[in-house]
Amino acid sequence: MAEIVVVGGGLAGLAAAARLAKLRHRVTLIERDPTIGGALRGVERDGFRWDAGAATTTLPAVLRDLFRKSGRPLESYLDIQLSNPSRRHVFTDGAVVDLPTGSRAAQITAVDAGLGDGTGLQWAAYVDQQADRWHLLRSLVLDDPRGGSRLSDREVVRQLDARTSLAQQLKRSLPDERLRAVVSSSFELAGSDPARVPAYAAVESYVERNFGLWQLPGGMAALIGALAARLSERGVDVRCRETVTRVMTRGDAAAGVETSAGHLVSADVVVCAVDPRVVFGQLLALSLAGKARRVFDAARPVTPPCITHVGLRGALPDLPAETVLHGNPLIVIRQQLHPLVSATHEATTGPHSESAWTILQRGGHDVDVLATLASRGVDIRSQVVARVDRSPDEVVAETGGSSYGFEWDGWRASAKRAALTNPLPGLHLIGASMHPGSTIPYAAWGAAHVAERLGKA
């Protein structure tokens, strides 16, 4: 049995702790905030609730695997639901597409209906191209617990066509500029320029078509609640309100951590699920972190979009999980499945009269987002009964780093960072800013890799 300390109680840290405890290691998890969850915590105000960050996820198989391998099936804790249609796209020329998931034929029909005959087949052909890339990416990189280092392998780069950018690929493969916006908008919302994103990242369009987009009725806070229960069942020692200030080493290997409370926690293995710039810049001695520090100094963390949560009363358009208003600013509206905190509140106000929306806005910050929405034909100003605004700086401060990870800056830079997931014996880095990347499935996938590398006690 190894003594393992996990730093950070966001999804990546929680997932790693659950898996490692099931493998019979003795695990301590240290989180600097009063509660665990990181970017997946909920926000509550005036009886309404919203997801603070992620509201939907692709690849539910990654979460299913996490729960199965750490004890019990996901479904015994959570009622994960397919959202279909998953996303409404509203374009600047007034065209609208409600894009379903799970069916190639349904996507063709929906795109033809919204953008005109022939566009559906154009879209389907583009998504089909991503299928081969997805299978390559999985087998060469994602399913390999040491896959991060493989991204620098010349043959892997060739097979993935990693040098081609998303912008180049879209120009080549999708004549309709609205369809190009369907692909590029999710990267733009997440702070990246499609000219710096490697084309293989477009596999997400195939992943979503094939495996769907999923939501949880209680929001992502329910996922955190379920993981907290797993950790407690597995005897993980969870310590909140303690900040890790140093990774201790013995020789050139990790040997534990020191916390802001002055506690020394010795360990055979340290798993850091926090911003790697903090790990290499502050927690590790310069003599050990030198080269890696330079690699991460060159990386730009994603600045989150402006976020506004609103509680609304009265009749509203029936929106899918996400509505993307293309143009400048780019706006995404996320509809919460169960908008009210308590059933009592729901009973007094009527079950269908309340909604909770989260509005993410990239660009155009000098105008109030509700005024911008009104100018785009969605005027909800008279229906707002609760509101919480969170600036990009506040969102970064909440988690101590970017939960969106780093901006894409070509494959080479991400390959260099990915190769540093296990920079010294006994030290492993996971989470949104490490390989395989941000968003729920990839943050949880990194945790699976570390468990596989360490194996059974």
Sign of the CA dihedral 406, 410, 414, 416? negative
- Of 389, 370, 376, 390, the closest CA to residue 324 belongs to 376
Q: Are 264 and 422 in contact (CB under 8 A)?
A: no
Q: Is 276 exposed, middle or buried (0-12, 13-18, 19+ CB in 10 A)?
A: buried
**Stretch touching ligand FAD by CB under 6 A, among 37-45, 79-87, 151-159, 163-171:** 37-45
CB of 327 to ligand FAD, least distance (A): 20
Sole binder of ligand FAD in the list 11, 18, 127, 157 (CB under 6 A): 11
CB of 410 to ligand FAD, least distance (A): 20
Type of residue at 313:
R
Query: What is residue 414's three-state secondary structure?
Result: helix
Sole binder of ligand FAD in the list 9, 85, 114, 311 (CB under 6 A): 9
Q: How far apart are CA 399 and CA 347, in angstroms?
A: 34
Query: What is residue 312's three-state secondary structure?
Result: strand
Tokens of 170: 């879209």
Residue-level length of the chain: 457
Q: Are 267 and 259 in contact (CB under 8 A)?
A: no
Instruction: Give the interface size with ligand FAD as a residue count (CB under 6 A).
Output: 37
- The answer to whether residue 439 forms part of the interface with ligand FAD (CB under 6 A) is yes
Q: How far apart are CA 329 and CA 415, in angstroms?
A: 31
Sole binder of ligand FAD in the list 6, 43, 54, 238 (CB under 6 A): 54
Provide the 10 A C-beta neighbour count for residue 40. 27
Longest dimension (CA), the chain: 66
In 23-165 the beta strands, taken as DSSP E runs, fall at: 26-30, 42-45, 48-51, 81-82, 87-90, 96-99
CB of 215 to ligand FAD, least distance (A): 10
CB of 273 to ligand FAD, least distance (A): 5
The helix or strand, by DSSP H or E, that contains position 443, with its residue range, turns out to be: helix 440-454
Pick between residue 112 and residue 452 the one whose CB is nearest to ligand FAD: 452
Pick between residue 181 and residue 359 the one whose CB is nearest to ligand FAD: 359
Pick between residue 120 and residue 401 the one whose CB is nearest to ligand FAD: 401
- Of 176, 204, 172, the closest CA to residue 190 belongs to 204
User: x/- binding map, residues 268-307, to ligand FAD, per CB under 6 A?
Assistant: -----xx-----------------------------x--x
Query: What is residue 337's three-state secondary structure?
Result: coil
CB of 344 to ligand FAD, least distance (A): 29
The helix or strand, by DSSP H or E, that contains position 343, with its residue range, turns out to be: helix 343-349
- The answer to whether residue 38 forms part of the interface with ligand FAD (CB under 6 A) is yes
- The answer to whether residue 4 forms part of the interface with ligand FAD (CB under 6 A) is no
CB of 172 to ligand FAD, least distance (A): 28
Sole binder of ligand FAD in the list 284, 378, 429, 440 (CB under 6 A): 440
Q: Which of residues 375-434 bind ligand FAD (CB under 6 A)?
A: 395, 399-401, 403-404, 431-432
Pick between residue 261 and residue 343 the one whose CB is nearest to ligand FAD: 261
- The answer to whether residue 223 forms part of the interface with ligand FAD (CB under 6 A) is no
Sole binder of ligand FAD in the list 5, 25, 49, 57 (CB under 6 A): 57
Pick between residue 140 and residue 265 the one whose CB is nearest to ligand FAD: 265
Q: Which residues bind ligand FAD (CB under 6 A)?
A: 7-13, 30-33, 38-40, 53-57, 243-244, 273-274, 304, 307, 395, 399-401, 403-404, 431-432, 438-440, 443
